[in-house]
Amino acid sequence: MEQLNLMGACNAAQGIRDGQFSSEELVQACIEQIEANEPEVQAWAYFDPNHALTQAKKADQWRAAGKPLGLLHGIPVGIKDIIDTGDMPTEDGTPLHAGRAPWHDAKVVDLLRAAGAIIMGKTVTTELATYFPGKTRNPHNLEHTPGGSSSGSAAAVASGMVPLALGTQTNGSVIRPAAYCGVYGFKPSRGTISRQGILIQSPRLDQPGFFARSLEDLALLGEVLSAYDPDEPDMVPRACVPMQKVCIEEPPLPPKLALIKTPLWPKADADVHEGLAELAHHLGEYVSEFELPESAARALDWHQTIMEAEIAASYEADYERGADKLSTSLREQIERGRSITAIDYLRATARIPIVTEALDDIFDRFDAILTPAVSGAAPLGLDSTGSPMFCTLWTFCGMPCISLPLLQASNGLPLGVQLVGRVGDDARLLRTARWLAAAVA
């Protein structure tokens, strides 16, 4: 049997159900990995091994009593430290929120507990989920950034500390750290997962996501978390999508991929250019280059307008009472946001459905978009989390995105590529991603 801490969530859940090992044994293996690697990787904002083991023992007692088991029974999950947990602090990566202890779980945490998951601890976020880095380092090379803002979650999964972890994305905060840390990252369609109990940065753009070491594990977690929440304004009532079942199916026909370099292509480095070219050559007839519609040309500007205006509103109280405790980067974002006019903000928000509809036409011909996840491998140094520019358009439109760890940069660091799907077509995107991963294996 492989090391328990490196076992994927699907296999580990089956092993616990079959009695091959206990949740306590799995959690203990993860604790040992955390204790061995945390001094260097620094992925955790809060971690109490005794609390994790207490949860695991209760999960084992539940199973021993013959009670029904959830999809994630006994499986450890890391939670980004902007997602409320009723039994642990949620400090949002800022000294202004130090000691903050929510009374209730976020909806996603409530769903995890209902599925039997073990809430392992709180993973490091950048400052208020923006650009100023936290303490986390890239597990592949400690001198390089892990990305952000979901830095701790990506690093914890990449270093074998947990099989699953939650993050969020307002610009590139799931896809970028997944690409830098060499794991799978998934940001579902806007409105697929509830944001209740998650720090509000930008109500129009904030979207939960998660990390795993396989696509099947992403599908498992996505199925658990996509339950309808009437308190989430972006969600509509609908039947649960069987993400696991669809993910592992063979496509009825080989998928067609639209290679979209975007106007930012010259800003990507040689590793990205050569990696995408090699991938496209390998896939041959299943990839065709495609130009973005003109309506998407200014999406990055509109995204920045919306994000900074809403950051200014969301963090107004923090700015007013403690601007000196905020990073220069965040203060500048807030100050720019405070100067945005109502007409510019409304014009930008009005473009979201227009651009999304224009991009939707691509999927009449293609199953998914193949595009860079990042401009290159994780940058050297820890004073930046890298650029999210290759994620911005898709986040702006609320489209589902997956980062796949298929490439390697010339310096040996992992380099993810991104697949993007039609809004609401999350399960089929997972299936296409699984086909792509198998095609280049």
314: annotated active-site residue: no
Which tokens is 85 given?
């947990």
Residues 210, 189: Cα–Cα separation, whole Å? 13
Q: Of the residues 150, 153, 173, 375, which is catalytic?
A: 173
Active site residue 173: yes
| Level-2 CATH architecture, domain 1-295+351-441 | Alpha-Beta Complex (3.90)
SS3 at position 160? coil
User: What is the tens place of the pLDDT at every residue in 168-199?
Assistant: 999 999 999 999 999 999 999 999 999 999 99
How many whole angstroms separate alpha carbon 167 and alpha carbon 119? 14
Indicate the average pLDDT of the chain.
Answer: 97
In one letter, which amino acid is 270?
A
Contacting residues for 260 by C-beta, under 8 A, at least 6 apart: 289, 290, 291, 292, 369, 370, 371
**Cβ neighbours of 308 (radius 10 Å):** 21
Dmax (CA) of the chain = 61
DSSP string, 328-384: HHHHHHHHHHHT--HHHHHHHHHHHHHHHHHHHGGGGT-SEEEEESSSSSPPBBSS-
Cβ contact 429:402 at 8 Å:
yes
pLDDT for 241: 86
Alpha carbon separation from 100 to 153, 201, 242 (Å, rounded) = 20, 17, 36
**Does the structure show a pLDDT above 70 at 125?**
yes
Of the pLDDT bands very low, low, confident and very high (cuts 50, 70, 90), residue 263 is very high
Locate tokens 């509109």: which residue? 302
Per-residue pLDDT, 61: 98
Q: State mean pLDDT over 257-261.
A: 98
Q: Quote the pLDDT of residue 254.
A: 96
**Of the listed 80, 107, 122, 261, which one is catalytic?**
80
Q: What is the mean pLDDT of residues 205-212?
A: 98
Which of 14, 5, 122, 31 shows the shortest CA–CA distance to 72? 14
Residue 247: pLDDT band (50, 70, 90) is very high
Percentage of the chain lying above the pLDDT 90 cut: 98
Q: Where are the domains of the chain?
A: 1-295+351-441, 299-349
Prior bond of 149 cis (ω within 30°): yes
Q: Residue-wise over 144-180: b if at least 16 C-beta within 10 A, else e? A: bbbbbbbbbbbbbbbbbbbbbbbbbbbbbbbbbbbbb
Query: Does the pLDDT of residue 267 top 80, yes or no?
Result: yes
Catalytic residue among 22, 107, 122, 149: 149
Is a pLDDT exceeding 80 seen at residue 1? no
Contact by Cβ (8 Å): 115, 166? no
pLDDT tens, 283-302?
999 999 999 998 898 999 99
pLDDT category, 240, cuts 50, 70, 90?
confident
For 69-85, how does the pLDDT look when each residue is reduced to its tens digit (9 = 90+)?
A: 999 999 999 999 999 99
Calculate mean pLDDT across residues 333-360.
97
Residue 10: closest CA among 163, 165, 174, 226: 163
pLDDT at 153 exceeding the cut of 80: yes
Give the model confidence (pLDDT) of 78-115 as tens digits. Answer: 999 999 999 999 999 999 999 999 999 999 999 999 99
Given a cut of 80, whether residue 2 has pLDDT beyond it is no
